Amino acid sequence: MHPAFSVVFFTTATGAGYGLLALLGVLGGLQIVPADFWLGLVGLGLALGLIAAGLLSSTGHLGRPERGWRAFSQWRSSWLSREGVASVITFIPAGLFGLGWVFFGRTEGWVAIAGLLAAIGAIVTVCTTGMIYASLKPIAQWHSRYTLPAYLIFAAMTGSVLLNALLQGFGIGSTGVLVLSLLATLAGWGWKLATWRHNDRLEIPTTANTATGLAGGTVRSLEWPHTEENYLLKEMGFRIARKHSAKLRMLAQALAFALPVLLIAATFALPWPYAAVPSVLAAIVQFAGMLVERWLFFAEAKHTVTLYYGR
C-alpha cells in the first residue's frame, strides 16, 4: 500500500496525542499526578495539538476536503466515520478537563469526571482507527488480530513516554510513570516483533488462481491491460519498501524502541534537571521511529489487487 505521508503522520500523531490525553485524564483525574499549571497547559496543549494536527493532516489526502463534514454521517457501518465522530466527541470532555485544570487549577470533582471521560473517548478513538485497518479483508497484513492491539499499545507507549518527558521536564518526575513508559516501550517492541514474525509466515489463501477463477496449475500474468502504472498500481502496488524492509525494520526498532529504552533507563540514574534531557530525547526519537514503523505498516502491506498484475 502506498504510504501517503499525511496518513502516516496522522496515525502516529493522533496515537501519541490520544495516549497522552488518556494518561493525563486518568492520572490527573485520580490525583496521581499533581494539578500543576504548567503540566496541564503544556501537557494538554501538546496532546490536543498532536490530535488536531493529525486530524488536519488526514484531510490532506482527500480529493474533496471541503465535503469532509459528510464523513460524520455513516457511523452505523463505517469505522472511518466512527473515528471522525469519536474524535470530535472526545474534544468535549477533553476541553472541559483542560479548562478545569488550567484555568481553575483543580483536577477533582467534575474536572476528574471530564478527565476520565476524555480518557474513554481517547481509547475509543484509537480503537476506531485500528479497526479501519483491521477490517480490510483484501490486505492480509492488516486484517489480523495484531492490528487493533498494536494501535492501542503504541498509543499507550508514545503517550507514556511523552508524559514522562513532561513530568521530568517540570521537575515533578514520577517513578511510576517512568516505569510505565519503560514497560510500555518494551511491550511495543515485543508486539511489533511478533507482528512481523506473523506477517512473514503468513499463508494467504487468496492467490492468482482464486483471483481469476482459474483452478489448478499456475496463473502467470502475460500482459497488463495498460502500459503505464494506473491508480491501482500507484495506490496499492507500492513496492519500494519491500526492497529495503530489513534495513527499515532495524531503523524503526532502533529509534522507536531500543534508544528510548536506553534513554529511559538513563533517566533512572540521573537527578533533576539532568534527568529531563534523556526523557525528552526519548520522546523525540521514539516519535521519529514510529513514523518509520507506520511507513512500513503501509508499505509492507500487500493488497489482493496486485495479484491481477502478477506482483
Partner 1 sequence: MTCLPAHSDKKLGLVIDLDTCVGCQACVTACKEWNTGGHMAPLTDIDPYGGHVDGVWFNRVHSYEHTTEMGGRTVNFPRSCLHCETPACVTVCPTGASYKRVSDGIVLIDEDKCIGCKLCSWACPYGAREFDTDVGVMKKCTLCVDRIYNDNLAEEDRVPACVAACPTSARHFGDLGDPQSAVSQLVAERGGVDLMPELGYHPTNKYLPPRAHTQRAASVPAKALEPVRAEGGFLGWVDRMLSN
The residues of the shown chain that bind partner 1, judged by CB under 8 A, are 1, 61-65, 67-68, 70-74, 76-81, 84, 132, 135-139, 205-206, 208, 210-232, 235-236, 303-305, 308-309
Dist. CA 87–CA 101, nearest whole Å: 21
User: For residue 30, which of 112, 94, 109, 151 has the smallest C-alpha distance?
Assistant: 112
Dump the DSSP string for 123-172: HHHHHHHHHHHHT-TTBTTTSSTTHHHHHHHHHHHHHHHHHHHHHHHTT-
C-alpha cell at 212: 481469476
Provide the minimum distance between the beta carbon of 202 and partner 1 in the complex, in angstroms, as a whole number. Answer: 14
Q: Residue 196 has which C-alpha cell?
A: 512481523
Tell me: cis bond preceding 273? Omega within 30 of 0 counts.
Answer: yes
Instruction: Tell which phi-psi region holds residue 217, choosing left (phi > 0), alpha (psi between -120 and 50) or beta.
Output: left
Helix (H, G, I), strand (E, B) or coil at 303: strand
In the complex, the smallest distance separating the C-beta of residue 127 from partner 1, rounded to whole angstroms, is 16
Residue partners of 100: CB distance under 8 A and separation at least 6? 106, 107, 110, 111, 114
